[in-house]
Chain A
């Protein structure tokens, strides 16, 4: 009897293994359906309620804004708005909406619908303001009022001229949602999204997938893909394993170690695109050795940025020359070169300033949005500075703690800190982090207390001008001054990457770091 039982158990065990392995011929992803490996579970599919690039990657395919970035650039072009006019004083923007566009739920895109979108975000008394919070609504804090002139014309009145307004409209926070769907689902709109985009929302299975399907009625023509499945896979190694085992067709944020593996294999295609990102060190210019411009320049000379980018970051970034990333091609001053690696010159400058052997406290973070590899970067920088006789003490903090220490200002705490920003307009970073009016006590991010009246004047003028050529000239001038003053050490501009299987074509990464999939084909 016992023997029979043993035999039965053994047979059952073997049988089960057989069945499991028989499902074995691992299902490849279905044709016409693109499976994308994302880095995290989305927080919400309400574009006004989210802040993460990870969520934007889905949203940009489900919604449209009034304007959008032209393919491959950070310049705006018409989208839901066919055209627009700006008043001479730069405070009134009038948009002419595209005819015959409907939301996925069947309701029509009207001027009233556009007004609803911005009122919901900005007006605390709006009946649907409680469907928020809307953390990035300050992108539109310049708006005084939104008026629906007629069914197809909407006017934005600004409190003061604000040049980044158009590029903020192209940002995901400016995407237009269906008022009917917000009214129907209230606080749960983020799980029942409805927009006008190339793909319609179909299904969200928590922690497993978000599925969007082709919008046959898309105003620009239906996309070729039947559906896209976004899978959250937080661990980078697991994402790589899924790509190698055929479980996904596309992955974003490929670890540097794996880029070469994919690049050498004809079954895969690697994409890279530099974006509006800058990785830098904030210097405390208020006190200590770094109050002296010579020492700040010396640190810029002493850091071997090329080695950092090639060895620590393994080619996933490029050396930065100044405060503005080259991705803003129209506003970038290409006459500026990065500070060359020159330890001798650094030593001379430190000697001239009388700060030989100075000790510096350096805040390093363990990781965080856009921070790349902050700990090894910090250690390499420490070693470079030791070579020119500066003793650097590193203090490492978890990201939230780090922000809590750096954002209120470095005074009395540290001489320098790592930082990285990703923005959508050349105005944002310098305006928030380099002006005298942006010192921490005034609510800005100028944690190192840099102050140069000339820079202040240029930034204010660039913000209120609506002429792009004029703005470009002002930004270029600002970059030259900041480059010379060196309130930061300019280190790197991150290149975003992605890998697709060879079956995927017509794909390109955007400098905005958004993932635009409407033209992608698979097969």
Chain B
């Protein structure tokens, strides 16, 4: 298991390096440069050239890349020219905000998705199943940014139960209850689609397992129905659902971009959008690197978790 983990981590290095090259090339290829973005209407060739020189962008691409890589290996992610601060400070701050949001959503969608899926499967074609399936379909189909706006309209504007945006109160606050209070609406919005997907797949996986012979055997032995469902069936179905949750984690991270915009959540998705439109190369590089690394780690975690749950994979 340890050897497997180490091997996977070593393999991730070339992936991440390759990624930085691709991001670097794309950023160089898309038209427009940071100096033009900063100067806007005042971007005369003369002003652009002067500013590029001051930003160190007059060097060749290859040179720029290796300077960046060299600094990176010494732990220096560079300085964002747009935000005027070290990239690493900004990226870590923003990434932890995204992790809080994505983590909360993942928790919500796993719990509710699994419960809905199991209930639905157990009561197949019953009224409960129909109602759950209806809500699951609606959940999957609703555009999440629109749902976010509706929730804000209802819970922030009309009833004033939750704040419309932000992560902490502007005055006072800053503690855990304050954070949770701000987290409720965006976390629910972000969780809805993934909850639907997980519920559907859990239902399918459960139905398949429930038809297996060993379940019939268990029932014939007189094992209680609750034990059959939770001990025998659910554990087996979980093996198929875990990789789905892993994939959903990726979607939740990606979906965070919209939700962060709607709820003004200071996460990394919104940071990347701004950084790309202002051509803030070093910030984009730093942000993509951290997101990609976390994705690689998360995939690894999912695989390890599957090994733990499924004895067949352990041999």
Q: Is the interface of A mostly helix, strand, loop or mixed?
A: loop
B156 to chain A, nearest CB (A): 4
Complex CA–CA separation, A22 to B307 (angstroms): 43
Residues of B within 8 A of A443 (CB): 44-46
Q: B162: which of A20, A30, A207 is its contact (CB, 8 Å)?
A: A20
A47 to chain B, nearest CB (A): 13
| Interface contact B170-A231, CB-CB below 8 Å | yes
B310 to chain A, nearest CB (A): 25
| Interface contact A241-B153, CB-CB below 8 Å | yes
| Interface contact B160-A135, CB-CB below 8 Å | no
Residues of A within 8 A of B22 (CB): none
Complex CA–CA separation, A138 to B168 (angstroms): 40
Q: Could you mark each residue 33-70 of chain B with 1 if its beta carbon is under 8 Å from any beta carbon of chain A, else 0? A: 10111111111111100010011000000000000000
Chain A minimum-CB-distance residue to B81: A133
- A57 contacts the other chain (CB 8 A): no
Q: A27: which of B30, B40, B172, B266 is its contact (CB, 8 Å)?
A: B172
Q: A238: which of B40, B170, B264 is its contact (CB, 8 Å)?
A: B264
- Which residues of chain A in 241-268 are interfacial with respect to chain B, using CB atoms and an 8 Å cutoff? 241-242, 244-247
Which of B13-21, B178-186, B240-248 makes up part of the contact surface? B178-186
- A70 contacts the other chain (CB 8 A): no
Which of B4-12, B83-91, B206-214, B288-296 makes up part of the contact surface? B83-91
Q: Could you mark each residue 8-48 of chain A with 1 if its beta carbon is under 8 Å from any beta carbon of chain B, else 0? A: 00000000100111011111011001010000110110100
| Interface contact B31-A401, CB-CB below 8 Å | yes
- Which residues of chain A in 430-460 are interfacial with respect to chain B, using CB atoms and an 8 Å cutoff? 432, 443-445
Q: How many residues of A contact B (CB 8 A)?
A: 63
Residues of A within 8 A of B263 (CB): 238
Size bracket of the B interface: 35 or more
- Which residues of chain B in 165-195 are interfacial with respect to chain A, using CB atoms and an 8 Å cutoff? 165-172, 177-178, 180-181, 184
| Interface contact B164-A135, CB-CB below 8 Å | no
Complex CA–CA separation, A35 to B270 (angstroms): 22
Complex CA–CA separation, A444 to B165 (angstroms): 43
Residues of A within 8 A of B261 (CB): 234-235, 238
| Residue in B47, B169, B170, B277 whose Cβ sees the most chain A Cβ within 10 Å | B170
A11 to chain B, nearest CB (A): 16
Q: A20: which of B152, B184, B262 is its contact (CB, 8 Å)?
A: B184
- B299 contacts the other chain (CB 8 A): no
| Interface contact B83-A245, CB-CB below 8 Å | no
A50 to chain B, nearest CB (A): 9
| Interface contact A238-B164, CB-CB below 8 Å | yes
- A357 contacts the other chain (CB 8 A): no
| Interface contact B157-A241, CB-CB below 8 Å | yes
- B32 contacts the other chain (CB 8 A): yes
- B203 contacts the other chain (CB 8 A): no
| Interface contact A369-B41, CB-CB below 8 Å | yes
B55 to chain A, nearest CB (A): 6
- B215 contacts the other chain (CB 8 A): no
Complex CA–CA separation, A428 to B47 (angstroms): 15
Complex CA–CA separation, A139 to B271 (angstroms): 31
Q: B84: which of A33, A44, A432 is its contact (CB, 8 Å)?
A: A44
| Interface contact B84-A191, CB-CB below 8 Å | yes
| Interface contact A133-B279, CB-CB below 8 Å | no
Complex CA–CA separation, A146 to B157 (angstroms): 54
| Interface contact B93-A206, CB-CB below 8 Å | yes
Chain B minimum-CB-distance residue to A9: B111
- A352 contacts the other chain (CB 8 A): no
| Interface contact B279-A23, CB-CB below 8 Å | no
Q: Could you mark each residue 60-104 of chain B with 1 if its beta carbon is under 8 Å from any beta carbon of chain A, else 0? A: 000000000000000000000011110000100110010000000
| Interface contact A233-B264, CB-CB below 8 Å | yes
| Residue in A41, A132, A207, A445 whose Cβ sees the most chain B Cβ within 10 Å | A207
| Interface contact B36-A404, CB-CB below 8 Å | yes
Q: B170: which of A23, A24, A29, A445 is its contact (CB, 8 Å)?
A: A29
B97 to chain A, nearest CB (A): 8
Instruction: Using known A-B contacts A26-B160, A245-B157, A404-B31, determine if residue A135 contacts B168 with beta carbons closer than 8 Å.
Output: no
A280 to chain B, nearest CB (A): 13
A407 to chain B, nearest CB (A): 6
Q: Could you mark each residue 476-492 of chain A with 1 if its beta carbon is under 8 Å from any beta carbon of chain B, else 0? A: 00000000000000000
Chain B minimum-CB-distance residue to A405: B31
- B161 contacts the other chain (CB 8 A): yes
- B250 contacts the other chain (CB 8 A): no
Q: B44: which of A16, A133, A246, A444 is its contact (CB, 8 Å)?
A: A444
Residues of A within 8 A of B44 (CB): 407, 432, 443-445
Instruction: Using known A-B contacts A23-B177, A51-B42, A400-B32, determine if residue A247 contacts B93 with beta carbons closer than 8 Å.
Output: no
| Interface contact B55-A133, CB-CB below 8 Å | yes
Residues of A within 8 A of B85 (CB): 188, 191, 206
Q: B152: which of A49, A135, A241, A421 is its contact (CB, 8 Å)?
A: A241
A164 to chain B, nearest CB (A): 14
- A403 contacts the other chain (CB 8 A): yes
Q: A241: which of B51, B165, B270 is its contact (CB, 8 Å)?
A: B165
Ranked nearest first, the 7 interchain pairs of A and B with the lowest CB-CB distance are: A400-B32, A207-B266, A133-B54, A401-B31, A241-B164, A26-B160, A44-B84
The contact sample of 12 A-B pairs, CB cut-off 8 A, is A23-B181, A24-B161, A26-B161, A27-B172, A30-B171, A43-B83, A135-B42, A187-B84, A233-B165, A233-B264, A234-B274, A422-B41
With A235-B261, A245-B156, A432-B44 known, 20 other A-B pairs at CB within 8 A are: A24-B161, A27-B171, A27-B172, A30-B171, A44-B84, A51-B38, A133-B51, A135-B35, A231-B170, A234-B261, A237-B262, A244-B164, A245-B157, A245-B160, A247-B164, A403-B36, A403-B43, A407-B44, A421-B41, A443-B46
